[in-house]
Structure 1
């Protein structure tokens, strides 16, 4: 029976307030969306700074706790040295991509303008050698002329008058670029402050939780926050390590077997492998196209090499080096990648796996707690698994 006491009055007021806010929000949905977008635009430098700080924190923590563990430095100085080394490491990676990979990529693109017409011509000659029994198709193949000069001129004209022209003549785009650099600068400075004072920030956030929540609720919020941070860190570390190992394996194997574009394909595989499940296959498809323009017969060899290295890395190296970094079954990983990709693209693929992992862990804990409270014996579900197996 409902009793009109102070506690129930408080709950009723909260529900009524929530219902009124929800009703007002639905009636003014366009204004609500506009306000949310405005807030996100204003807070975007700080959101970006938080993301940068989280990414930088993974290598910085490794340097601070592992490499500089025995160094006789004050905690503040050790943090500063770790942060500087982390920034230098990120800069070196960016410089590596710019000065080693991009020139080779530019050279490859220039080579494509030469090799693709020749490859198409060889393909045309191969089709003619098949003696196709349909005269109309045979005549079409004989008269097939791609007119590569006109195609290249159209592409260059589009870049000059269309895309590039809009970039350099539209004031709004230039303003957006300047605004983007400014937001990145503010976010980077904000990330530095977070990394230098992360213990103090964590302590302040805990104080806020315990001040406005009950001790039980605050403990739960802090536990979930810690679980989320640990899961995202493990996932980021695992994906980066897997990508580096896979890219290095491809570079070494392709160099030994004299495949073309060894360095470019190795870096390409490493970058695309950051995307869970499908990333390495995207890199494989691009690499096969590049090799196809040089030696079509070697595409088959590269495909065999890709499958061998992918199986070796996935079944032997990854479980030992990375392990089960997020604690999520393969079925849920596939679901997270599919849902995240359909909603937020590549970014969704990356963030939905750790999010699903956190939800899966919390649900598993809740289920186990309920089973323990109801005193359900484990043989009730273990016997079903044995029967199914």
Structure 2
């Protein structure tokens, strides 16, 4: 190989990269601590970016419907106030939802949990009677069931102790608690201000990012990167919007139908199913299992009615609501949805399930485009392949 200046430069780069990798592996604990510190520094801005991404979805919807492009082009003053007004409306809606949860839903759920404790205490003697009749020939099982006890106060104390252990040593010191609260508030405030800045200046920031990208990256690659970013944003925003709207509709349907049929814990189960419905494929069935158990404590017959209601509403949701609300926004075949949910759940839990479906959808769309380009280069029509 001829040692030209270009080859010498490549060899030098490979040697430096290899030396850097070896140094990182040798002092991996130091590298991890540095990365942790750096992530702690940029975390408020990462959180702010995530908040801006979520808030941008309803903000775009409000701005698009309240301030159409035709009106903004005719009225320059409307164009200036469109984005701030849309942001204020979104923030008012968010504060209203939080207030509704704090002052309406939480007290109602507190009363529901209180009655749930009483129902469980009344249910245990029934279980003991059923076990005595069913296993009267097996004294060990009867003795074990008769020793069942339920103390709601102990359950609540166990939950508090579990939270304390999960929170670590932070709760062991009042000073550390105060410091943690202040730090959390400061982080949230910085993230919130950063999110508002992004939302108010998103057009300007978008233009600046494009200028930087075209300045340092070849034009063809820069356009490809922008196309991937656009596809990623559209996929994630469509999936987020569809999942949230679909979960709200499904939870509301359960609350209304259960209230009409006078099934117990309608509000609690409706909220539970709305939250679990955010988990693709398996979420609603988790809510169904928990709801069936809660209602079974009150009445096994009503639990059977609830299962029938769940199956009917699931069919309505799956065949009518989900295709219209979410539709083909993700554009991912069912087998890959299942794979994305499984991989995301194993790697990152519930968050991974939500993130991996649009992420895999973007990769699927890009790979499909590459395959079509390769087929066209070989002068093969993709539609002719059967």
Q: What corresponds to 1:152 in structure 2?
A: 153
Within a 5 Å distance, the mapping from 1:339-378 to structure 2 comes to 339-378=343-382
Contact persistence 1:168–1:174 (CA under 8 A):
no
Q: Distance in 1 between matches of 2:356 and 2:316?
A: 26
**Helix, strand or coil: the match of 2:238?**
helix
Q: Distance in 1 between matches of 2:306 and 2:175?
A: 46
Q: What corresponds to 1:387 in structure 2?
A: none
Gaps of 5+ in 1: 383-389
Structure 2 CA distance for partners of 1:367 and 1:7, relative to 1, 3 Å = farther
Contact persistence 1:101–1:267 (CA under 8 A):
no
Report deviation, 1:4.
5.5
Contact persistence 1:167–1:174 (CA under 8 A):
no
Structure 2 CA distance for partners of 1:281 and 1:194, relative to 1, 3 Å = same
Deviation readout 1:224-259 (Å, 9 max, x if unpaired): 111111111111111111111111211121122111
Q: 1:95 aligns with which of 92, 95, 99?
A: 99
Q: What corresponds to 2:63 in structure 1?
A: 64
| CA RMSD in angstroms, aligned pairs only | 2.6
Q: Distance in 2 between matches of 1:40 and 1:6?
A: 38
Contact persistence 1:251–1:262 (CA under 8 A):
yes
Q: What corresponds to 2:171 in structure 1?
A: 167
**Helix, strand or coil: the match of 2:273?**
helix
Report deviation, 1:139.
5.0
Q: 2:301 aligns with which of 286, 297, 300?
A: 297
**Helix, strand or coil: the match of 1:327?**
coil
Contact persistence 1:231–1:358 (CA under 8 A):
yes
Report deviation, 1:130.
2.9
Q: What corresponds to 2:112 in structure 1?
A: 108
Report deviation, 1:103.
1.2
Q: 2:237 aligns with which of 209, 233, 237?
A: 233
Of 284-293 and 239-248, deviating more is: 284-293
Contact persistence 2:170–2:176 (CA under 8 A):
no
Q: 1:333 aligns with which of 334, 337, 357?
A: 337
Of 165-174 and 197-206, deviating more is: 165-174
Contact persistence 1:251–1:266 (CA under 8 A):
yes
**Helix, strand or coil: the match of 1:247?**
helix
Deviation readout 1:266-293 (Å, 9 max, x if unpaired): 2221122112222212222222232223
TM-score (norm 1): 0.89
Report whether the alignment pairs 1:192 with 2:193.
no
Q: What corresponds to 2:80 in structure 1?
A: 76
Q: What corresponds to 1:386 in structure 2?
A: none
Within a 5 Å distance, the mapping from 1:211-290 to structure 2 comes to 211-290=215-294
Q: Distance in 2 between matches of 1:28 and 1:54?
A: 36
Contact persistence 1:254–1:260 (CA under 8 A):
yes
Q: Distance in 1 between matches of 2:20 and 2:11?
A: 14
Structure 2 CA distance for partners of 1:17 and 1:376, relative to 1, 3 Å = farther
Report deviation, 1:203.
0.5
Q: What corresponds to 2:183 in structure 1?
A: 179
Within a 5 Å distance, the mapping from 1:14-93 to structure 2 comes to 14-69=13-68, 74-93=78-97
Report deviation, 1:362.
0.9
Contact persistence 1:228–1:358 (CA under 8 A):
yes
Deviation readout 1:285-327 (Å, 9 max, x if unpaired): 2222322232232111111211211121112221123201211
TM-score (norm 2): 0.89
**Helix, strand or coil: the match of 2:348?**
helix
Contact persistence 1:119–1:293 (CA under 8 A):
yes
Report deviation, 1:7.
5.5
Q: What corresponds to 1:128 in structure 2?
A: 132
Structure 2 CA distance for partners of 1:191 and 1:139, relative to 1, 3 Å = closer
Report deviation, 1:360.
0.9
Q: Distance in 2 between matches of 1:202 and 1:74?
A: 21
Q: Distance in 2 between matches of 1:11 and 1:170?
A: 57
